[in-house]
Structure 1
């Protein structure tokens, strides 16, 4: 093991560039998957005829597919049909679709957990179904689903490493490249990458625990 060589500034900068790519992909995927998940989860909860059934089928199908397969399909298969996305956006789209489906189920469960009495009281006060959904159900549901949603975002950050299959220059891809230049760099590079992942994910786990504590 060559820690001194592996941790030279050029090598560290190379790994940090990969980590920055990881954070960019994860950040965009978190935003897009949250929006997608809230929309799909709300539609499923609302039980809109036909539409809710179609959405439920799509969400359940995506949730039961490997994320690696989705990224592979978007980044490698689609370009062969003429629909080519830059590697960066292929990773963002793949992660957003998969995590959006996972969040949709969290949203549906969170909305379903809202006490029926509160919903009935809102309707009795003269609010329409959509007003009740917007002003009562969604705010209460989002508070309750915050901890599992943060946990899902932690999983998303770790899942960015799967984009290595489409050669996205994220952290694990750069670890792979650096390790390929010298076998002595393998363990030091993996240790450094582990520390970066741990720092971000542990910080988010603390946020999830704090949000969960507020629910009790």
Structure 2
């Protein structure tokens, strides 16, 4: 093991560049998957005829597919039908498709966890379905959804490493390039990569606990 050579300024700068791409992909994927997943979850909860059934079919299909397959599909298969995407967009699209399905189930479960008695009381007091959802259901469901949603975002950040299969210049891709220069760098570089992932994921876990206390 060569920690001195592995942790040279050049290598650390190269890893940080890759980590920047990882965080960029994770940021866009988190924002978009949260929006799409929330919409899908609400549609499933609302049981809108035909539309809800179509969403259920799409969500259950995606949830039972490996993320790696979806990444291959967005980068290699879509160009075959005329949609050529660059590596960054293909990775973000794959993550959004996969994570939206997961988040939609979290949102649907959170909404369903609100007691029916409170919903009936809101309706009897004159609130319509949208008002009941916004003023009664969502505030109570939110604090129950925060921990699993943040956990899903942590998984999303880790899943960005799968984009290495399409040579996206993210953290794992840069780590592999450095490791290819010298086999003595493998353990030190992977230790450094692990520390980077841990630092961000631990920060998200702390944020989750604070948000949970704030909304409770």
2:19 equivalent in structure 1: 19
Q: CA deviation at 1:80?
A: 2.6
Provide the aligned C-alpha RMSD in A.
1.4
Q: CA deviation at 1:70?
A: 0.3
2:70 equivalent in structure 1: 70
Question: Within 5 A, what are the aligned runs for 1:167-206?
Answer: 167-206=167-206
Structure 1: 4+ residue segments shifted above 6 A: none
For 1:98-138, what per-residue CA distance to the aligned partner results, in whole angstroms no more than 9, with x for missing partners?
00000000000000001112111111111111211122212
What are the ranges of 5 or more consecutive residues in structure 2 without an aligned counterpart?
A: none
What are the ranges of 5 or more consecutive residues in structure 1 without an aligned counterpart?
A: none
Mean Cα displacement is larger for which, 122-131 or 106-115? 122-131
Contact 2:142–2:215 (8 Å) recurs in 1? no
1:35 equivalent in structure 2: 35
Contact 1:144–1:215 (8 Å) recurs in 2? no
User: How far apart in 1 are the matches of 2:91 and 2:76?
Assistant: 11
Q: CA deviation at 1:152?
A: 0.4
User: How far apart in 2 are the matches of 1:63 and 1:139?
Assistant: 27
1:96 equivalent in structure 2: 96
1:87 equivalent in structure 2: 87
User: How far apart in 1 are the matches of 2:8 and 2:147?
Assistant: 39
Q: CA deviation at 1:212?
A: 4.8
1:145 equivalent in structure 2: 145
For 1:131-151, what per-residue CA distance to the aligned partner results, in whole angstroms no more than 9, with x for missing partners?
111222122212210110000
1:160 equivalent in structure 2: 160
Q: Helix, strand or coil for the counterpart of 1:134?
A: helix
Q: CA deviation at 1:169?
A: 0.5
Contact 1:148–1:208 (8 Å) recurs in 2? no
